Amino acid sequence: MSVPASWYLVLAAVLFGIGVYGFLTKRSVITMLMCVELMLNAVNLTFVTYARTLSDISGQTIVFFVMVVAAAEVTVGLGITVAVFRRRRTTSVDELTEMRG
Amino acid sequence: MLALTTTWPDLLVFITAAALIVVGALGVISLTNPVHSALSLIITLFGVALSFLEQSADFLAAVEIIVYAGAIVVLILFVIMYLGVDRHPHDEVEPLVGQRVFAALGALVTVGGIITLMAKSHWVTGVMSASMNGTSLSSGQGEITQLGQSVFTTYLVAFEVTAALLIIAVLGAVQLARRDRESEVEQ
């Protein structure tokens, strides 16, 4: 018998919370992207835990798709970061304030 | 109660994975150098892969290492080193008053809410999925076989859409990161 599923769920919730805190406090776009990865991994962990608990392979399939979308998201996000850095010489979200109303 | 149903190797694996995940995640948000943050993210990813292995998701554990630690983090590291953005970290300034306090509060409320919701809805003894069309994890088949069958039958449309999504993302990234010749001339 493996470790109870609730332990993994609590671990995933803690990981998600750390990701949320980092996303809300960091200034660099790249570090914020890494915090998004933390949150995505927390959700993946939850999916895999439920796939084991409920004996349903669909949970693992969803994780597969989440990984694909995460790869696409990082690719586009870093592309935008590079493009912004070329024009503005910064990746700090505090200095990119042109779009506020 | 828990110790009766859990053997100590499983417990040891869980503790190792949890330590890797939490230490790595705290490193991501506390280290000021982005390169160190990215390396710390790899620690977290290895912890997640370890917990995938423990829960009989072998294929996903391998993909986690290959795609996340092997591709995504390396891409992030490339961009960090290409831009050289770690020269002037901005994390010390605080333009929004009390942002850290509110962020910590929000994170705590999020975690507490998630845990409360899961605890109230019988998280350990959940019912079987209603859409489970014969694909059970414990049917003796290999886990990769089942995953492949699930991807190419039930989720075939989603699979094709993600293929298109990847192509679009690659094209978009190339277009975004390409140097614009005319604007270079203007400068």
The residue of chain A nearest to residue B145, with distances taken between CA atoms, is A57
The interface pTM score, or ipTM, of the predicted complex is 0.90
CB distance B126–A21 less than 8 Å? no
Of B29, B48, B162, the CB nearest to A65: B162
- Mutation choice for B interface testing from A29, A56, A81 by most B CBs within 10 A: A56
Beta carbons of A24 and B99 less than 8 Å apart: yes
Nearest to A38 by CA among A25, A19, A24: A19
In this structure, the answer to whether residues B1 and B69 fall within a common structural domain is yes
Nearest CB partner across the interface for A49, out of B13, B55, B172: B55
Q: Is residue A99 part of a domain?
A: no
Residues B111-134 have pLDDT tens digits of 888 888 877 776 555 555 444 444
As a whole number of angstroms, the distance between CA A56 and CA B11 comes to 23
Q: Does A97 fall in a domain?
A: no
With contacts defined as CB-CB under 8 Å, which chain A residues touch B62?
none
Residue A50 near residue A5 (C-beta atoms within 8 A):
yes
> How many structural domains are present in chain B?
2
To the question of pTM greater than 0.80 for the whole model, the response is: yes
Residue B30 has pLDDT above 50, yes or no: yes
Query: Residue A28: beta bridge partners?
Result: A92
Alpha helices in B55-135 (DSSP H): 58-63, 73-83, 99-120
Domain that includes residue A61, residue range: 5-88
CB atoms within 10 A of CB B12: 11
Q: Report pLDDT digits (tens) over B44-91.
A: 999 999 999 988 888 999 999 999 888 999 999 999 888 876 555 555
Cβ–Cβ under 8 Å, residues B47 and B18: yes
| C-alpha B87, offset from chain centre | 27
Q: Any idea what the CATH number is for the domain that residue A72 is in?
A: 1.10.287.3510
Name the closest residue on chain A to residue B113, using Cα atoms: A13
